[in-house]
Structure 1
Amino acid sequence: MVNVTAVFDIGKTNKKFFLFDKDYKEVHKEYTSFEEIEDEDGYPTENLPALQEWLKSVFENILKASEFNVQAINFSTYGASFVHLDENGEVLTPLYNYTKPIDQSVIDSFIEKYGPKEDFLSTTGCFDLSLLNSGLQLYWIKHTKPEVFKKIKYSLHLPQYLSYIFTGIPLSEYTSIGCHTALWDYTKKDYHQWVYKEGLNNILPTIVSTETSINMNYNGKRIKIGVGIHDSSAALLPYVRSVKKKFVLVSTGTWSITLNPFTDHPIIADTDTKDSINYMRINGKPVKATRLFLGNEYKVQVNKLHKRFGVSEDYHRHVKFDYNTYLEIVKDFKHMFKWESITDVDMPSETKITYNKFEDAYHQLMMELVLLQIKSIKDVIGNDEIKRLYVDGGFSDNDLFVKLLSHHFRNMKLRTTDSSLGSALGAAISISDKKLNSKFLKKNYSLKKHVPFIIS
């Protein structure tokens, strides 16, 4: 039998289950997805009963499997989501979707009591007040659903709820609390005073380190059960554990999140940017972050270019960086794209493309998108001395993105990594005592070095 660590990695769309061996190699994978259900207002939300049923059945089947010996299990999930339990441990409400709009009067009353927004940003690292800040969800329930609120014994962040399903022990941990919840005062390293004034501390369970695990007898078997971890913090962990020098990680996808885990100045005091946020490392240390809706904008604009030039939907995947095309564009550079999901001071009032070839327009698009990414990276580095830049996720294999970034950050060492397992691996590593060495990223993440192109 192979000794393994099991991880449930729960995204909003895909629900995945992995088994890793002692060297963190994936030896088994299952995944599923569920149709969303609706909350009491008809807003789409996670099918929590189906998720719970799937977790239990998958895990019980693995425990019966003769080829694997499960020694530990942990959970990685998206953030900004609470599960509310009554005194019998029963779920009280739907898992409210963090995109659900709430009445502006609730936000106004919150700001009136605990604002202004500037103070909030400087202490909590949250600018955009909405259900994306899960603390606001507790405030919203308390003031609009008081009968429900009175019944809440514990409010658990989603990763900790999954752990609770298996342990029955309610806990909180740093990465979920630190995920733009508006609950945490980074200057005090404690819950914000508004949390105490509203009495929310009474329903938030004891805080433990993310590395905490509980040794339990589960169905007659001794298993180490982790307390769960927020997925962005989980994805950062393998880098923090294996890279000894300071670095910034650009985690790309629908959102491009740039993370600086080495800053002494986590709060960004510029209240004009709601794309500056804080995360927390597993030990409670702050991580300064910026977010950019890069993958979403890329998808929108590339689809328009496909239609405009009459090329196939995957044509963009085969375009490689061309130095001469770059030189032509940069010689008389001007912005051509009006973004649909990003606001930028340099963008024109409408898109004006002057090229006859898809490749030229695509180079222009990538050059403009990379300028946005550069700003995001510079904002997160600030005055910190950082010489290493890691890029993972969808854009790590985009030739133009990597070459242009490498060119703009010539004074930094740029590396790309390829791991679709990022957050799942981080969850496995967080409850392991095993030390990672500097070869870990090379062996497990297909680490690649990139050299800037030569300017003639």
Structure 2
Amino acid sequence: MQRIPVIVIFDIGKTNKKCLLFDTHYQLVKEHSVQLPEVPDEDGYPAEDVHALGAWVRNTFRELQQLGEYEIRAVNFSGYGASFVWLDEQGKPVAPLYNYLKPYPEALEQQFAATYGTAAKVARETASPVLGSLNSGMQLYRMKQEQPATYARARYCLHLPQYLSYLLTGQAFTDITSIGCHTRLWNFTANAYHHWVTAEGLPDKLAPLHAADEALHVAVNGREISAGIGLHDSSAALIPYLSGFHEPFVLLSTGTWCISLNPFNHTPLTDAELQQDCLCYLDYKGRPVKASRLFAGHGHEQLVKALAKHYNKPLHYYRTVWYDPLLAAGLQPGALEGLTLARLEQYPDYETAYHQWVVSLMALQKRSLELVLENAPVKRIFVDGGFSGNPLFMHLLAAAFPQVEVYAAAMPQASALGAALAIHTAWNDKPLPADLIELKYYAAPAPQALVPPEGGPGSENSTPGNEYP
């Protein structure tokens, strides 16, 4: 039997840990996922079980190598950001993989500001709003201040994606997509580590920078392969779009957060933008990507629970709600929290209440998108993730931006696929496929278009799919 040439991708989220195999046409041929229980850190705060995660990655890859049906040519990794693994000289973890949601001590934040400048100044220089432990560089500062003995024992601190690569390659590197992700480590103007990083001696703990699109040639379990060093998952998810489209666009990635990413906006962040939760990422080529965030998916989850209870409907009843342009036009945006807390009695039915919430959401989403569109207009907005399959959201978005083409993008496993594409030339001699992303165009319908197209939800003329948030 002829073995299938593949690349293996480990895509590590906070909840789901996935191993995916793509063939040379980037078609998914195998997938496996697990959920690993968290463990408490020394303060009792839940943390990733770094030992269980490491064992799963190593064992899974070894088992794949032993299968006779795949020719594993390469491996790469994508993972969530803002998380460090501290390794000693023998490559063993010496500290928990701390949760980026863990509260950050206010006294330490004040001490940092007193030493290195106001929060606003450092935020502007590092393109990172003040986000506590989500600024992963501040985790390094905290470790040095609070646990100097552990800090001294550590040879390297690796962001999670690079630790995943280290597990198989034994080589330690730093990746620009992880460093350039609201870490407060990188000076975007100087294109180098911020002066506070060098003043604290942190480069001694950070592994050498390595290009995210260059693979290592290593032996894993005695077999030669190409191996990437891993990428931050948000930056990896942008790669298929950068590979497939060259006209300026914005990617609206929707999930728990709705993140607007404009790879064609290179203007420096202003204080006003930072105060409105804007930030910059670095893409896999080291280029700045202006971004804004909206905590919308979480709110939607709470909303549909409240609506289902109040109107005695199934939890996912919202999937049957068609866009009514006349109804939407008669509603004024309001506070998103208003519907989830009370006052649902003022709406005659589920459909009206749901329209009201999404109309209110769209007012905020429009402002969030405009923050990254300013000074860098685009011709297209691509929407992926949960809201891309929500016709009410998509029609309202199209109505909010009539001058731009709005598309729902269907591309499962975007971050994993991006990690595979990042090292394409290292393992795949075929040209990049031109049809990796399935698009559906949305236009705001005329007010009289009140009747759903024939075929109902999911038909060709209605919903682009059934993946709702």
Q: TM-score range by the shorter chain?
A: over 0.9
- The 5 A counterparts of 1:432-447 are 432-433=424-425, 440=434, 443-447=435-439
Give the alignment's TM-score, normalised by structure 2.
Answer: 0.91
CA distance in 1, matches of 2:364, 2:102: 28
Give the alignment's TM-score, normalised by structure 1.
Answer: 0.94
* Deviation (angstroms), 1:51: 0.7
Contact 1:275 1:290 survives alignment (8 Å): yes
* Deviation (angstroms), 1:350: 7.3
CA distance in 2, matches of 1:336, 1:157: 37
Tell me whether 1:391 sits opposite 2:383 in the alignment: yes
Question: Corresponding residue for 1:419?
Answer: 411
* Deviation (angstroms), 1:425: 0.2
Question: Corresponding residue for 2:348?
Answer: 356
Deviations 1:306-364 (A, max 9, x none): 2221111111111111233224x24xx352643699xxxxxxx9756621110111111
- Which SS does the other structure have where 2:216 is aligned? strand
> Unaligned regions of 5+ residues in structure 1, if any?
342-348
CA distance in 2, matches of 1:75, 1:338: 37
CA spacing shift, 1:283–1:2, aligned 2, 3 Å: same
* Deviation (angstroms), 1:268: 3.4
- Which SS does the other structure have where 1:208 is aligned? coil
- The 5 A counterparts of 1:137-286 are 137-270=139-272, 273=275, 275-286=277-288
* Deviation (angstroms), 1:445: 2.9
- Which SS does the other structure have where 1:406 is aligned? helix
CA spacing shift, 1:339–1:183, aligned 2, 3 Å: farther
CA spacing shift, 1:120–1:315, aligned 2, 3 Å: same
* Deviation (angstroms), 1:439: 6.7
* Deviation (angstroms), 1:366: 0.8
Percent identical: 39
CA distance in 2, matches of 1:451, 1:379: 22
* Deviation (angstroms), 1:304: 1.4
* Deviation (angstroms), 1:226: 0.5
CA distance in 1, matches of 2:447, 2:338: 30
Question: Corresponding residue for 2:61?
Answer: 59
Superposition RMSD in Å: 1.9
CA distance in 2, matches of 1:288, 1:340: 32
Task: Pick from 351, 363, 373 the counterpart of residue 371 of structure 1.
Answer: 363
CA distance in 2, matches of 1:83, 1:179: 16
* Deviation (angstroms), 1:271: 6.1
- Which SS does the other structure have where 2:217 is aligned? strand
258-267 vs 67-76, which moves further? 258-267
Question: Corresponding residue for 1:345?
Answer: none
* Deviation (angstroms), 1:446: 2.3
Contact 2:379 2:405 survives alignment (8 Å): yes
CA distance in 2, matches of 1:44, 1:340: 31
Task: Pick from 408, 420, 425 the counterpart of residue 428 of structure 1.
Answer: 420
Contact 1:111 1:117 survives alignment (8 Å): yes
Contact 1:14 1:33 survives alignment (8 Å): yes
Contact 1:82 1:134 survives alignment (8 Å): yes
> Unaligned regions of 5+ residues in structure 2, if any?
449-469
Question: Corresponding residue for 2:50?
Answer: 48
Contact 2:344 2:353 survives alignment (8 Å): no
- Which SS does the other structure have where 1:250 is aligned? strand
Question: Corresponding residue for 1:29?
Answer: 31
* Deviation (angstroms), 1:419: 2.2
